[in-house]
Chain A
C-alpha cells in the first residue's frame, strides 16, 4: 500500500522537530520504520498491539471509520508520547484509484482535551482527502 505524506503531517513534524520532541535516532530507528509498516498493513504483528496501533476515537467517544493512531511512548529526552494519525482510504490520486495510507498529523500528547481536538481535525482532513482537496509531499 502506498503511504502518502500529507502537507499537514509534514507541518506537524516541523513543529515537533523544532521543539526537539524527538531526535534523529527516534526518527531513523523507530518512527520511520514503524510508519513504513503501513506499506504491508495489516500484515505485521505490531498492528495487533493496542499499545502501538488502534482506532481513532472522536470527541464523542465514537470510532472514526478509516481513522487510526500509531502510538510511541517514552520518546525524545523525556516521557513524551507521540501520536501519528493515519487515514486508510480508497481514493483517486493522479488517475489511480486504490487504497492508500495517508499520514495526516503527528503530535506530542499532553492531555485528553488535545486528543479530542486532534481527532476532530483528523475528521476534517479525512473529508478533505476524499474530496481531493489537499497537498502532499510525496510518499514513504
Chain B
C-alpha cells in the first residue's frame, strides 16, 4: 500500500473544513484529533471531505459519528497486532443483549442528569456519536465510558461492564 501524504492543497482544505466544523459547533478536541488523523489516513481525509460537501444534516451527523469512532479507536490502538479472546457466534446475541441493557441503564442516568446535549458539551464527544453509542450493540470503549463518567461525576462502579472494549 502506498502511504498517504497530503498535498499542500489538501492540507489547506483540511483547515477549511476544520474551521467549518468549529462554526457548526463541534468541540475543539474532536476537530484537533481529526485534523491530525486526516494528515495520515486518506480515509479520514475523504470522510472530512464528504462532510464538507454534504448538505443533509442527518448524513453529516453519520459522518461525524464515523469519524469519532475512528478517532477513539485509533487513540486506543495497540502498537502491534493484538489478539483478544475469540467470541463464538452463538454467544453474539447474549453479549449484544448485555451491552444494550448496560447502555440503556447508562442512558437513563444521562437523561436524569441533563440529557445527551449536555453530555456532549461536558464530555467533548459529539452529540451524534453519543446518539449512536446509546443505540448500538457495539461494546463500549473504556475511554468513552471514562469521558462520560468524568463529565457526569459518576464513580468507576457505575460504569463497570463485562463487555468494555
User: A residues near B, CB below 8 A?
Assistant: 5, 7-8, 10-15, 17-19, 24, 27-28, 32, 58-60, 65-66, 89, 91-94, 113-114, 116-117, 120-128, 130, 132-138
Contact = CB atoms under 8 A, between A and B. Distances in A.
Contacts, number: 120
Interface string B86-110: 1101101101110110000000000
A71 B136 CA distance: 23
Interface SS of A by simple majority: helix
Size category of the B interface is: 35 or more
B59 interface: yes
Given A116-B50, A134-B78, 6 more contacts: A8-B73, A18-B100, A18-B137, A117-B63, A135-B83, A138-B86
Contacts of A114: 62
B1 interface: yes
B47 A120 contact: yes
Contacts of A32: 89
Interface of B: 1, 4, 40-44, 46-47, 49-50, 59, 62-63, 66, 70, 73-74, 77-87, 89-90, 92-93, 95-97, 99-100, 136-139, 165
Contacts of B44: 120, 124
A117 B97 contact: no
A60 B138 CA distance: 29
